[in-house]
Amino acid sequence: MAQESTGIVVSSGVPIRGSMPTGAIWQHLGRFARRKPLGAFGAAIALLLIVVAVFAPFIATHDPAETNPALIYAPPGSQLLLGGDQLGRDVFSRLVYGARVSLYAGLLSAFIGASMGMVMGVASVHFGGKTDLIVQRIIDTMMAFPPLILAIVIMAALGASLNNVVIALSAAYIPSAARVLRSQALAVKEMDYILAARAIGASHARIIFRCMIPNCLALYIVLVSVFLGTAIVAEATLSFLGIGVPPDVPSWGGMLNGAAQTYVHLAPWLGVFPGLAIAIVVLAWNFLGDALRDVLDPRLRGTW
């Protein structure tokens, strides 16, 4: 039976996708939570972040941009949950809206960076020969720059805006993703059904997208979750330095901007909360990424 399935071919020709009944999803999740409690904790926090980011207008107590001269440097108390910043804005609401910015920047950069890296790595392996060498040199050149410096330079050229931050960070992650996924693709290339697909004359696009990429998905998911953590820190760093999002956009890094010099004397608590938020979120994504990696491919344990 020469059944064309979705690329995951089993010897009898019967496609195996879509064979899982929906009720079993919860069983699998429960097992995951029990076997990897840290990963479940990470997932819970990640979910909390997403909920806070999406429902920000309902959770925030004040308008994050509303300045109130009477509440400048107000200590945490009954009026403003976590105090007021240097312009009298509510720190709690800015934290909540900042979650949106962090999530947007982190998620998009991680996805775009990993995806483009994957396509580059897989395509370069598939075409082989000179193309492979050229692409490898390009990737090596990109990897020569420390990622933060590359991001700073791109931001300098493009100007301050959230979308530019996404562009800059994605560019920083593409080379590492390409490297890692290239080695995975090298292993996949030798598999029998890839050879079979070429023998029957499948087009390049078909082979890449339907045969090689599904096998790299496990690694891809792990990469995205790892990149997400670092992307959130990277966005915060850029905003902290002042070359990330514009100053009026609430961002956890931006909130820490004056912390080392101005706030220390006037309002020490202002430097604590945004940093704490960043640390918790990054920790959560790290745990989640570790747990996913252990579940999906234990061989990768200890690589980074």
Partner 1 sequence: MLKLDFGESMFFEEPVAKDLADKFPITLELTVLSMLIATVIAVPLGLISAIKQDTPTDYIARIISITGVALPNFWVGILIVYFLVLLFAWMPPLGYADLWDDPLTNLQQFIFPALALGFFEMAFTARVTRSSMLEVYREDYTRTARGKGLAERVVIVRHALKNALLPVVTVSGYQFGRLLAGTVVIENIFMVPGMGKLLVDSVFHRDYTEVQAIVMLVTVSVLILNLLLDVIYGWLNPRIRYS
The site for partner 1 (CB under 8 A) is made up of 144-149, 152-153, 155-156, 229, 233, 236-237, 240-243, 253, 256, 259-260, 264-265, 268, 271, 275, 278-279, 282-283, 286, 302
Closest approach of partner 1 to the CB of residue 237, in Å = 6
Q: Quote the CA–CA distance of 38 and 285 in Å, as a whole number.
A: 10
Q: Quote the CA–CA distance of 107 and 122 in Å, as a whole number.
A: 22
Closest approach of partner 1 to the CB of residue 279, in Å = 5
CB closer to partner 1 out of 15 and 275: 275
Closest approach of partner 1 to the CB of residue 230, in Å = 10
Q: Quote the CA–CA distance of 88 and 206 in Å, as a whole number.
A: 57
What is the phi/psi pair of residue 238, to 5°? -60, -45
One DSSP character per residue, 103-149 reads: HHHHHHHHHHHHHHHHHHHHHHHHH-HHHHHHHHHHHHHHHHS-HHH
CB closer to partner 1 out of 122 and 180: 180
CB 105 within 8 A of CB 165: yes
Closest approach of partner 1 to the CB of residue 157, in Å = 9
CB 83 within 8 A of CB 74: yes
Closest approach of partner 1 to the CB of residue 183, in Å = 16
CB closer to partner 1 out of 127 and 269: 269
Closest approach of partner 1 to the CB of residue 262, in Å = 11
CB closer to partner 1 out of 12 and 303: 303
CB closer to partner 1 out of 126 and 293: 293
CB closer to partner 1 out of 30 and 268: 268
Which residues does 219 contact at the CB level (< 8 Å), separation at least 6?
180, 181, 184, 296, 297, 300
